[in-house]
Amino acid sequence: MTDQSAKAARRQTDGRKQLYDNVLDTIGNTPVVRINRLAPEGVELYVKAEFFNPGASVKDRLAISIIEEAERSGALSPGQTVVEATSGNTGVGLAMVCAAKGYPLVVTMAETFSVERRQLMRMFGAKVILTPKEAGGTGMYAKARELADAHGWFWAGQFETEANALIHANTTAREILADFDGRRLDAVVTGYGTGGTVSGLGRVLREARPDLEIVLCEPANAQLLGSGIPQERTEAGGPASGHPAFEPHPIQGWTPNFIPLVLQEAIDNSYYDRLVPIAGADGMAMARKLAANEGILTGVSGGSTFSVALDMAQTAEPGTVILAMLPDTGERYLSTPLFDHLAVGMSDEEETLAATTPGFLMS
């Protein structure tokens, strides 16, 4: 078949040739997708689309790892209630996993995070406890610890658990190596929430591809790592207090008001080569551009990561290959400022288009 006839051929699929025992078996193996219209000429820019996970975010990986590692160790008993503090995506992932496996789940979440997230968790059967915005991430964390201690619930502990970076070393990093096997890859760009992605990637990619640059991003107005100020911790590794460099920022899922213990591994082992701040407004603008120009719908964190990757691409040498992590879907942000620029009814332009024919006009 010639190139021209191949392009003209009708799209068809043949199935995955695999049947799944449950939805949890579909976690991982997310696609790497090339950016075409936004990428500068001569540079290959890719995104790893984590919204292809069944719970629509990278945190599905963490959720299944926490539960299955606890099952293996005996730390989680059949039917025991699971409790976790989350900005949303880990909670959604845990709610999905717990629903499939039969564990009750209670989530604590600061009231500032999007309504969609709490409703998704409740749809999966979880109970959502909202904590006051003034208390920030440490407040929802402390509430979850209180509940775990008071009721004997299993503490998921996403910010400290070894299951976090482990799953990214065992899956995310291996997928990237497989997808770029025999191909050039110069840089991987990611943000951090718990730090599991960068710590897991660092463990594997540092050894497998020592020349690969790992770039870590954080909010411009909440540069916890950029400040150089260490995190005060409890004996268990949790935050003893909020970090002094933290300010509220719009990149939901990134950078709580403390440096997680999981992220400390990446800091201590120099798993990232560069730390780049990014303004939340720039991340939102780039998420909108990805949707409008590439048909890729991601959230503010994905837009922020991609914005940093695109800036790198603009000044990169021809032939450079860059991969950006897209943690979740834009549908998690419908009630947030990410969608504020869109009319709920019809915009003026849409009303003008509607009026170009006489029928079925809104009064």
- pLDDT tens across 122-157, in order? 999 999 999 999 988 889 999 999 999 999 999 999
Tell me the per-residue pLDDT of 17-74, one tens digit each, with 9 for 90 and over: 999 999 999 999 999 999 999 999 999 999 999 999 999 999 999 999 999 999 999 9
**C-alpha span between 164 and 144 (Å, rounded):** 18
Where are the extended beta strands (E) located within 10-76? 32-34, 44-49
In the block, which residue shows the tokens 């790992």?
Answer: 214
Spot the catalytic one: 57, 114, 199, 301.
301
To the question of domain 59-155 being in CATH 3.30.450.20, the answer is no
Whether 101 is catalytic is no
How would you label 137-172 residue by residue, b for 16+ Cβ within 10 Å and e otherwise? Answer: bbbbbbbbbebbeeeebbbbbbbbbebbbbbbbbbb
16-52+173-339 has which fold?
A: Rossmann fold (3.40.50)
Categorize the per-residue pLDDT at 362 as very low, low, confident or very high, splitting at 50, 70 and 90. confident
Whether 59 is catalytic is yes
Residue 185: CB atoms within 10 A of its CB come to: 22
Categorize the per-residue pLDDT at 87 as very low, low, confident or very high, splitting at 50, 70 and 90. confident
pLDDT at residue 357 is higher than 60: yes
- pTM, rounded to two decimals: 0.94
Spot the catalytic one: 59, 114, 143, 199.
59
**C-alpha span between 251 and 45 (Å, rounded):** 22
Q: Where in the chain is the domain with CATH 3.40.50.1100?
A: 16-52+173-339, 59-155
